Amino acid sequence: MRWFPTFGFQRRKRELQEEIDAHLQMAIADRVARGETAEAARQAASREFGNIPLVQDVARDMWGQAWLEQLGRDLRYALRQLRKSPGFSITATAMLAIAICANSTVFSWIDGTMLRPIPGARDTGELVSLQRGERNFSPVPPFSYLDYRDLREQNHTLAGLLAYHHDWITLTGGAQAQRVFIANVTANYFDVLGIKPVLGRFFLPEEETRPDAVPNVILSYSLWKTHYAADPAIVGKSIEIARHPVTVIGVAPEGFVGAMPGLRDDLWVTLDPLGTDVWRITHRSGGAVWLNVIGRLRPGVSRDQAAQDLDTVMHHIVAEYPDDHLGENRITLDPMWRSPFGANGYMAATLPILLAFAAVVLLLTCANVATLTLVRFVSRRRELAIRQSLGANRMQLVRQMVLEGVVLSIAAGAVALVLTSWTSKTFAWFFPASSAPIILNGSMDHNVVIGIAVSSLLAGMLCGALPAWRSSHAPAIEVLKAESASVTGGSRNRKLLSALVVAQIALSLPLLLCSGLFLRTLRNLADANPGFEQDQILTATVGLNIAGYSNNEQQVIRHKILDRVSTLPGVKVATFTDWIPMSLTQKKEDAYPEGYVPRPHESLKVAHVEVGPRYFESLHIPILEGREFTPDDDEKAPKVLIVDQTAARRYWPGQDPLGKKLRVWGMLFTVVGVAINSRHMFVNEAPEPMVYMSFFQQGYETIVQVETEGNPADLEPAVENAIHGVDSRLPVFDVRPMRETTQLASSFAVIESTLAGMFALIGLILAITGIYGVVAYRTQMRTHEIGIRMALGASRANVLRLVLVQGLWLTGIGLAVGLAFALGLTRFIARLLYGIGANDPVTVVSVVMLLGAMSLLACYFPALRAMHRNPVTAIREL
């Protein structure tokens, strides 16, 4: 076996052989010339030359390649040693592989989401997402077009500023309308992101707000591939969107799916392609605030500088148009990896913590493998001592032993690499089908491979170096001479073993505690009352607003749908809404109570939803005062509102809210009812005001909401058929029980508790096997001593105590250190918990009890074995 063969090395080796051959030939020739026979001459010459391999060896040393050969030799030796104990090798490799895989999996998720926020975009580190007003976890689009344009033109710190708005639309023209996600974008959108078309062109500056008779559209690569069979002549062709002809002018490159992390755009158009958005792009408030904005920093400009610059520009805008900017207007910038728009806000709150957990698992595993390695080295101390006395210096021994650890960890890294290529793709499992085009998954690229290499090398050093350094300390002569005196492997090794066991227990405790807290959070979330009954609710989205129907057509169709669905057997109540709670989406608007003077910088944003008659009845949300909406609350009737308790208390504290007026979109709405509070986004949210408007007055999206008598899933086909019975071309989507949609709100709690639970289980197993292994090993080493004790009259109980006490000491210290560690750490996850304190005493006590009991059990078995030993055979055994 040859390691690191190099061309030069091979050449020199060959030349040396040739040189020696030439030498021998000349010597033979001389001898033959002097009259010797050929055979005798050959023998004499080679005898005279001496040991050829030795010459080769010494010469090779001269070439300075010795260390390579030595490394090869050490490596071969390490492999041989590992082959000799396959049990150890396989166990250690498997444990390390799992621990490395835990890290690389979480890292691949971070890599695929936070580190690649906009796939395909150039230098995403320079991109910042802009937020206006109070910082919010799930903000709505913050800018109007005019404000955006002023910011774009007047800033001094950005190389470019883009804006977009996206929504569903339908691709019509085929047999069945297909729903796609479309984005209205500024002309510089692709430029600022640094995206080049694979076909055709992107938008021109003059097209940004220009309506066209036949608007231009850009296709995403995947839509072009799946829907148009990758037609190379697609550019210039006409397609139909929402029953409107449009011209394809370009195709975006593969992988690019839009500027909002985690969501997939299929189509891009300009801001006002049909001329229907004129109002939206010529106003600064209300419904005209519809754009998400992303900027690219100029080289050398920091995020803070840019934020200050933009804030100054915004100040001027606010001063000029104070009526359009009543609330808080401060501008804040976020890097894309934690941009609150899209998925990364959630990712940034969850994944780094999980990566930290995984790192603890890796540390724990290293401690465990180091324990095994140390025990192995102790049992090999005779061999090590002999090699030392034969002239191996300490450095060589250490190098050898470290190499064994490195070989193990490299093997583990390779296994982890294979595993991760699969586990990285499991991230998508956590996101059930929903009404948002979520596209989230881990990615397996060079970053992940580097991560695996680094963590496996670190692990190898950790679990090889420490024991190796310790073991190489043993004075050779004493080991060889006085075998029995150092049966426990010397006090130094004993201390290191103890420290490693303590470390394992101390590291596993925080893992267990955090997973306990997460699991209880998940249970609390599931048990929590969101304020509405969702178990017998079915929802179905009808793409009326996105399929190109006129307003009048829409109203007629809506009434027809309601009539048909209401009469279906099994339907208790049918109604409309344009939003489903706890689906990670939210609709917000500025609202001004009549006569209310907002404090400066007070945010007036309020969440709203448009709901049909009997909506509250179907969800079992009690109306405290006033009435529900009725079918008569339509476009012709006066505008009405129902507020929840939070809104009532905020706008009209201590007064009767009924009959009060609220101005939204410049229109006055009269309060006709007060509903009890319910949850909007998450179970664990702080209560925020919510106003309900009448669906037949303000409804935008059409979602049919049905309360069923039995299992809502059973009614899915019937409801879909009933809608298609009104008009067979109506696009119907997302027909599913409400329970499935609201699960989205706890996706992250599920991710956290699943992974934390898995990590904690691994931690527990490692810690328990760790302490079992060490106590069992030590007890075995003390067999002789125990035999003597028993022969001198120690009772079995004494022996049991002897072994147990030693294990319990280790456990106790480990638990104490771990508890301090854990209590310090839990505050980092406090934000993610619900219904439970970060230092919840019940969880803390039960986790400590669990770990303590398991450790006790782990110590009990070796103690039991020691107790039942026959003293006579025990004494004989060495």
Size of the site for other proteins (CB under 8 A): 25
Stretch of 27-35, 329-337, 423-431, 646-654 lying at the interface with other proteins (CB under 8 A): 27-35
666: burial class by Cβ within 10 Å (0-12, 13-18, 19+)? exposed
Shortest approach of other proteins to residue 25 CB, angstroms? Answer: 6
- What is the distance between the alpha carbons of residues 362 and 99, in angstroms, rounded to a whole number? 5
- 3-state class (DSSP) for residue 538: strand
Q: Which of 6, 19, 205, 824 binds other proteins (CB under 8 A)?
A: 19
Q: Which residue number, 18 or 478, has a Cβ lying nearer to other proteins?
A: 18
- Which residue stretch of 22-30, 165-173, 309-317, 368-376 sits at the interface with other proteins (rule: CB under 8 A)? 22-30
Cβ count within 10 A of residue 728: 8
Could you say whether residue 55 binds other proteins (CB under 8 A)? yes
Give me the helices (H) in 528-644, please: 551-566, 615-619
Interatomic CA distance for residues 530 and 439, integer angstroms: 27
Among positions 37, 40, 61, 76, the unique one binding other proteins when judged by CB under 8 A: 61
Give the shortest CB-6-to-other proteins separation in angstroms.
Answer: 16
Site map for other proteins, 689-718, x if CB under 8 A? ------------------------------
Closest CB 37 distance from other proteins, rounded Å: 19
Stretch that binds other proteins, among 11-19, 190-198, 560-568, 862-870 (CB under 8 A): 11-19
Residues 351-390, one symbol each (x = binds other proteins by CB under 8 A, - = not), give ----------------------------------------
Residue matched to tokens 């009048």: 552
Find the binder of other proteins among 13, 27, 200, 860 (CB under 8 A): 27
Q: Of the two residues 29 and 40, which places its CB atom closer to other proteins in the complex?
A: 29
Smallest gap from residue 54 Cβ to other proteins (A):
6
The answer to whether 182 and 241 have CB atoms below 8 angstroms apart is yes
Determine if 62 is a binding residue for other proteins (CB under 8 A): yes
Query: How many residues are listed for the chain in this entry?
Result: 878
> How far is residue 690's CA from residue 646's CA, in Å, rounded to a whole number?
7
Task: Give 18 or 320: the residue with its C-beta nearer to other proteins.
Answer: 18
In the numeric block, the tokens 């339908």 are attached to 170
Select the residue interacting with other proteins from 23, 338, 620, 739 (CB under 8 A): 23
Of the listed pieces 46-54, 346-354, 632-640, 784-792, which binds other proteins according to CB under 8 A?
46-54
**Looking at 16, 449, 658, 850, which residue binds other proteins (CB under 8 A)?**
16
Which tokens in the block code for residue 846? Answer: 């039960």
Q: Which one of the spans 47-55, 70-78, 150-158, 865-873 is the region binding other proteins (CB under 8 A)?
A: 47-55
Q: Given the structure tokens 């839509």, which residue do they identify?
A: 223
Give the three-state DSSP class for 210. Answer: coil
CB of 792 to other proteins, least distance (A): 46
| 47 lines the binding site for other proteins (CB under 8 A) | no
Q: Could you tell me if 374 and 492 are in contact, meaning their C-beta atoms sit under 8 angstroms apart? A: no
Q: How far is the CB of 63 from other proteins (least distance, A)?
A: 7
Task: Mention every residue, 6+ apart, whose C-beta is less than 8 A from residue 451.
Answer: 103, 104, 107
Binding status of residue 67 toward other proteins by CB under 8 A: no
Q: Does 25 help bind other proteins (rule: CB under 8 A)?
A: yes
Binding segment for other proteins (CB under 8 A), chosen from 25-33, 362-370, 554-562, 665-673, is: 25-33
Of 20 and 813, nearer to other proteins (C-beta) is 20
Cβ–Cβ under 8 Å, residues 256 and 218: no
Minimum separation from the CB atom of position 42 to other proteins (A): 15
CB of 392 to other proteins, least distance (A): 12
**Euclidean distance between CA atoms 354 and 752, whole angstroms:** 7
Determine contact, residues 654/685, Cβ cutoff 8 Å: no
Candidates 4, 10, 14, 15: give the one binding other proteins (CB under 8 A). 15
- For residue 548, the number of C-alpha atoms closer than 13 Å in the C-beta half-sphere is 15
Least distance in angstroms from the C-beta of 789 to other proteins: 44
- Judged by CB under 8 A, the residue of 3, 4, 49, 809 near other proteins is 49
Query: Which residues make Cβ contacts (< 8 Å) with residue 18, sequence separation at least 6?
Result: none
> What minimum distance in Å lies between the beta carbon of 53 and other proteins?
10
Partnered with residue 626 across adjacent β-strands are 673
The residue (of 1 and 33) whose beta carbon lies closer to other proteins is 33
> 3-state secondary structure string, 78-114?
HHHHHHHCHHHHHHHHHHHHHHHHHHHHHHHHHHHHC
Phi, psi (rounded to 5 degrees) for 608: -140, 160
Give, as one character, the DSSP assignment of residue 639. Answer: P
Q: Closer to other proteins at the Cβ: 26 or 477?
A: 26
Query: Which of 299/391 has CB closer to other proteins?
Result: 391
CA 384 to chain centre: 45
Distance of closest approach, residue 36 Cβ to other proteins, in angstroms = 16
Structure tokens at 805: 């006490």
Residue 50 in contact with other proteins, rule: CB under 8 A: yes
The yes or no reply on residue 64 touching other proteins (CB under 8 A) is yes
At which residue do the structure tokens 């004129």 appear?
278
- Provide the 10 A C-beta neighbour count for residue 136: 16
For residue 40, state whether it binds other proteins (rule: CB under 8 A). Answer: no
Smallest distance from other proteins to CB 386, Å? 18
Strand partners of residue 333: 130
Among the listed residues 3, 18, 428, 492, the single contact to other proteins using CB under 8 A:
18
Stretch that binds other proteins, among 10-18, 296-304, 717-725, 868-876 (CB under 8 A): 10-18
Between 68 and 623, CB nearer to other proteins: 68
391 contacts other proteins (rule: CB under 8 A): yes
What gap in Å lies between CA 197 and CA 81, rounded to an integer? 57
Stretch that binds other proteins, among 23-31, 109-117, 357-365, 869-877 (CB under 8 A): 23-31
Judge contact between 579 and 609, C-beta under 8 A: yes
Q: Would you give the distance in Å from CA 72 to the centre of its chain?
A: 40
Sole window of 34-42, 56-64, 532-540, 568-576 interacting with other proteins (rule: CB under 8 A):
56-64
118 by DSSP, 3-state: which? coil
Closest CA to 344 of 525, 117, 137: 117
Closest to other proteins by CB, 56 or 305? 56
In whole angstroms, what is the distance from residue 826 CA to residue 754 CA? 17
In the chain, count of helices (H) and strands (E)? Answer: 27, 22
Structure-token pair, residue 676 = 């009890």
User: What is the rounded CA–CA span in Å between residue 417 and residue 600?
Assistant: 55
Cα–chain-centroid distance for residue 276?
40
Binding site for other proteins (CB under 8 A): 15-16, 18-20, 22-23, 25-27, 29-30, 48-51, 54-55, 58-59, 61-64, 391
